[in-house]
């Protein structure tokens, strides 16, 4: 079980878990779909967070049809989120993606 990063305070004991703890996670999702204007995909965090994290998602390419899309995390929980990819100009019509990388980051909220 992962231990979340801790704000150090006087008198705290140093443990292996605390030294290895981190308050962020990141990953890459490969997205593929056919003839869509929006798309969702469930993503599970490698390690659960103690509270729902603050998140960001970015399409890693600007070439071709990806330039007209945006990505964002929705339905964020302690164990994962839903990646939501949507066409920003629906007048352009539906598009197809094949293995497009979308990067995400999640971090613990600060007090």
Tens digits of per-residue pLDDT, 55-80? 999 999 887 888 889 999 999 999 99
**Domain 26-107 in CATH 2.60.40.2080:** yes
Query: Domain map of the chain by residue range?
Result: 26-107
Q: Give mean pLDDT, residues 3-14.
A: 64
- % of the chain beyond a pLDDT of 90: 58
Q: Which contiguous run of DSSP H or E holds residue 16?
A: helix 16-20
| Prediction pTM value | 0.80
**Per 3-state DSSP, what percentage of the chain is helix, strand, and coil (rounded to 5)?**
10, 50, 40
Nearest alpha-carbon partner for 108 in 83, 68, 78, 71: 78
- Pairwise CA distance, residues 75 & 77, whole Å: 6
């Amino acid at each position: 079980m992962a231990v979340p990063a801790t704000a150090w305070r006087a008198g705290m004991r140093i443990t292996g878990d605390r030294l290895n703890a981190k308050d962020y996670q990141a990953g890459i999702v490969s997205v593929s779909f056919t003839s869509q204007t929006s798309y969702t995909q469930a993503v599970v965090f490698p390690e659960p967070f103690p509270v729902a994290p603050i998140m960001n998602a970015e399409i890693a390419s600007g070439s071709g049809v990806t330039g007209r899309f945006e990505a964002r995390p929705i339905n964020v929980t302690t164990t994962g989120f839903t990646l939501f990819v949507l066409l920003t100009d629906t007048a352009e019509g539906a598009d197809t993606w094949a293995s497009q990388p979308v990067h995400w980051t999640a971090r613990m909220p600060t007090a």
